[in-house]
Amino acid sequence: MTKLAEDYGEVYSLRLGWSKTVVVNGYKMVKEALVNQAEAFSERPLTPVFHRLNKGQGLILSSGHMWKRQRRFAFTTLKNFGVGKKTLESTILEEIRHLQETIEEEQGRPYDPHFTFNNAVSNIICSVVLGRRFEYSDVHFQEILHLMFEGLYLQGTIWGQLYDAFPAVMRLIPGRHQTLFSNIGKVADFLREEIRQHRQDWDPSAPRDYIDCYLREMEKSKDDALAGFCEENLCYTTLDLFGAGTETTSTTLRWALLYMIKYLQIQEKVQAEIDSVIGQARQPSMEDKPNMPYTDAVIHEVQRMGNIVPLNLPRKTTKDTTLGRYFIPKVVDYLYDMPLFLSLVLRGLFTMGGLVWIFCLRIAVCCCGAVVSLSSPLCVIPEPLCGVLGAVDDLMVVFLLLICMININQQIGPERANIANSTVQGVLTDSL
């Protein structure tokens, strides 16, 4: 898609299966679509896969009045429970302590931290959404995490693409696409059981978590059916928070760990900044972020280099409109190419001067120490996903704790030479 943009310009169209899709590139055009004409480009198209998974409910794929009401409620409720605030730090610190104990049990042996990180991140989310955490030895919860990961992975494979292209045929034949629907169905059943247990001892006057607050909102919004406050939507909303928030943040942390191994000189600079600002006598805090521009820049660069959400989710137009010199009719799907978009943003910043480079690639810190935000240059875009650890402040605390906890240089031994000389390549999936 980046190559097509170089050949055909910032706005071009192509067919993805049966759907004609407009691809938007470049800072000016993306900002025009998502900020200046936000209302016209605000809807979410429902692909056959997503329609079968949640029928347009939840936070990610809902549209219109339902999306606005659900998003507003989610942001307010999560904020009240400390998301993005200092009050969540105690939960993060407690979970990182459990993570440290689990890593120390490996005694320096090589192992894959994927689901250990997933468990840690999901527990932080579960503490807010479900009101409790799960032990790393909980076999049932580990199965749920594996089902969630496999489901997200299969969405990005040829099986998910074939189902989107030929849903009437694919729903009748066996294949890995059926595993996708089965896995997400089992995760949804797990959440429905959590909701059922909440109902048994629910006290509307003393909400304990997100589910309790949602149950109370269901009672208040009985007269507004279009707002979508029902038990089934609660399941899909919780699934969005639980699934998308876990996988996205966990994937970012694994990329960070990999890059710290590959670029030890970067790790040493991060550690030096930690020693200078935080020292050894206390734990990291969100309040340290303004004083740690280099570490903040590294996290942003990890998000850009790891390319966690390369295209974001597709959108569709709500009315006839124009973008640049092109007419775009109502109900047309469109995407924007995030890697190319960020590259163009960075290219426009070269005039700032005095720039420090991270991983020998893009711009990260300007000469005065201010961080150039690479993960979301259009921070005012009204995205529907309220990821619990989506805030860079929370992510930075977790990253700092990991660096403080693990001396990667000592842990990895001679195997680092193979990583340092190898290429770093990701796997296509539907990480959100």
Provide the 8-state DSSP code for 128.
Answer: H
Nearest to 50 by CA among 146, 164, 144, 158: 164
Q: Are 44 and 57 in contact (CB under 8 A)?
A: no
Three-class SS state of 327: strand
Q: Residue 382 has what pLDDT?
A: 41
Say what the pTM is: 0.80
In a 13 Å sphere around the CA of 258, the CA atoms on its Cβ side amount to 22
∠ Cα 4 7 10 (to 5°) = 75
Q: Kindly state the tokens that stand for 291.
A: 């004083």
Q: Residue 213 has what pLDDT?
A: 94
Q: Residue 316 has what pLDDT?
A: 81
Q: Kindly state the tokens that stand for 362.
A: 């893009």
Nearest to 10 by CA among 377, 340, 349: 340
Which is it for strands 19-24 and 333-336: parallel, antiparallel or unpaired?
parallel
Q: How far apart are CA 324 and CA 312, in angstroms?
A: 21
Amino acid present at 285: S
Amino acid present at 413: G
The dihedral over CA atoms of 129, 130, 135, 139, expressed in degrees to the nearest 10, equals -110
- Going from N- to C-terminal start, the domains of the chain cover 2-420
Q: How far is CA 227 from the centre of its chain?
A: 25
Q: How far apart are CA 68 and CA 55, in angstroms?
A: 17
Q: Are 28 and 374 in contact (CB under 8 A)?
A: no
Name every residue whose Cβ is closer than 8 Å to that of residue 143 and which is 6 or more positions away in sequence: none
Whether domain 2-420 has CATH 3.10.20.30: no
Three-class SS state of 410: helix
Strand partners, 326: 323
Q: Residue 363 has what pLDDT?
A: 36
Q: Residue 422 has what pLDDT?
A: 57
CA-based torsion, 352, 353, 359, 364: positive or negative: negative
Q: Residue 235 has what pLDDT?
A: 94
Q: Which regions in the chain score pLDDT beneath 70? A: 2, 16-18, 27, 84-86, 309-312, 332, 334-396, 404-432
CB neighbourhood size of 66 (10 A): 20
Which residue reads 């595993």 in tokens?
179
Q: Kindly state the tokens that stand for 327.
A: 């007419």
